[in-house]
Amino acid sequence: MYRASIIGAVLFAVAVPAAAQLVSVQLDYPPAELRAGIQGVVGFEVALAKDGKVTGCKITQTSGNADLDRQTCSQLRKTGQFKPAVDPAGQPIKSTYASRLRWSLPHTLETAPAPAPAPQ
């Protein structure tokens, strides 16, 4: 009985597939959009290889700014690190990962007070 319980627990733990997960991505704000104060939310979907590397990227919801949209896929391809999805046997598989990315200005740029007028 004790042995059957352990085997059942192991089979249950292995039999659960897991979706891919975003581990990290380094984002570089597009310079022109940063200077212009442009922000937005971009929906995306990436195709992932068995090792978690990005093999494709498409925009599923535009931010309304083509450069933010392009930069989203560019940065995910260059710097995105993903934990691959696994099948019920625990083996890595090709998969997709979909989410949204919010491009927002650094707090210091959003709320910086206007410069004081020069004394006369």
In a domain, 8, yes or no: no
- pLDDT number for residue 116: 56
Cα-only R_g, the chain: 22
Q: Which domain holds residue 89?
A: 25-104
In a domain, 47, yes or no: yes
Q: What is the pLDDT along the chain (120 residues), one digit of tens a residue?
A: 223 323 333 444 444 579 999 999 998 999 999 999 999 999 999 999 999 999 999 999 999 999 999 999 999 999 999 999 999 999 999 999 999 999 998 775 444 455 555 565
In a domain, 86, yes or no: yes
In a domain, 75, yes or no: yes
* Number of domains observed in the structure of the chain: 1
Find the CATH number of the domain harbouring 92: 3.30.1150.10
- Give the global pTM: 0.74
Cα–Cα distance for residue pair 118/120, rounded to 1 Å: 6
